[in-house]
Structure 1
């Protein structure tokens, strides 16, 4: 039996896999009906733009099967309290084998009828915020099945 922390983490990892597979229906299935994401995007002028995105709108961002997008939280932290879980940590985002941007993800999950679902999340998106460690990272073709 998986640990209490393993299952919510697996839901978030499944989200990333569905994004990589360009599978909007798979993305939607992982969230509550009213889920939403908040993106805090760093702009070139140094300001930030906050975007609130419904789960449905987010899922439609991942329809191009040739885009070869990969996101990975490489050292996620998980907290579980009853039917609530939080998964958070730094992430890297690749387009093909090129590092696009880095930031912090935080997902709130709730257990609905015994199944963990993403209720909401927030991400920073900052191409200039990648650490040296992140700049050296490459997408794992075994994990993601990179297309050439």
Structure 2
């Protein structure tokens, strides 16, 4: 009886240690992914296409989902290279994408980030929505492999 209790306690202790280790690794990954998201938006504000480029894999994709004037859902694909060029081209107003309530889920070498945002041109509100980032853990660290966003001008959070 005593031997069985000892084995049970040892087994539970090992399980607790394994779970704790996994949670710690996931938290570290989430922090690294959050850092990439911050690098992207800091790069946009600074007009720094080199900083923005470091966030993405070479073949990353960009898409937007929105309603057109007729109320139909449109899925539009964009070019990552065109986006990086636009960020790096001097423009009069700062591109300020403000984010909050970021949720990141990690499964091994893949992660998804749900990033609500409000976008401002300088001090003027432009639109809001959600960015859905898909990340992969590469030899160079966590990189965005895809971004899909929504865009709207109403029903936006006031506090971003």
Q: What TM-score bracket applies, with the shorter chain setting the length?
A: 0.7 to 0.9
Aligned partner (choices 45, 48, 69) of residue 23 of structure 1:
48
Which has more helix, going by share of residues?
A: 2
Aligned partner (choices 129, 134, 137) of residue 159 of structure 2:
137
Unaligned runs of 5+ in 1: 139-148
Which has more strand, going by share of residues?
A: 1
CA distance in 2, matches of 1:103, 1:7: 23
Question: Which is higher, the Rg of structure 1 or of structure 2?
Answer: 2
Question: Which structure would you say has the larger RCO, counting Cα contacts within 8 Å and 6 or more residues apart?
Answer: 1
Contact 1:21 1:65 in 2 (8 A): no
Deviates more, 1:5-14 or 1:61-70: 61-70
Contact 1:32 1:119 in 2 (8 A): yes
Q: What residue number does 1:116 align with?
A: 142
Counterparts in 2 of 1:1-148, with a 5 A limit?
Answer: 3-62=28-87, 63-130=89-156, 134=157, 136-137=158-159
Runs of 4 or more above 6 Å deviation: none
TM-score, normalisation: structure 1? 0.80
CA RMSD of aligned residues (A): 2.0
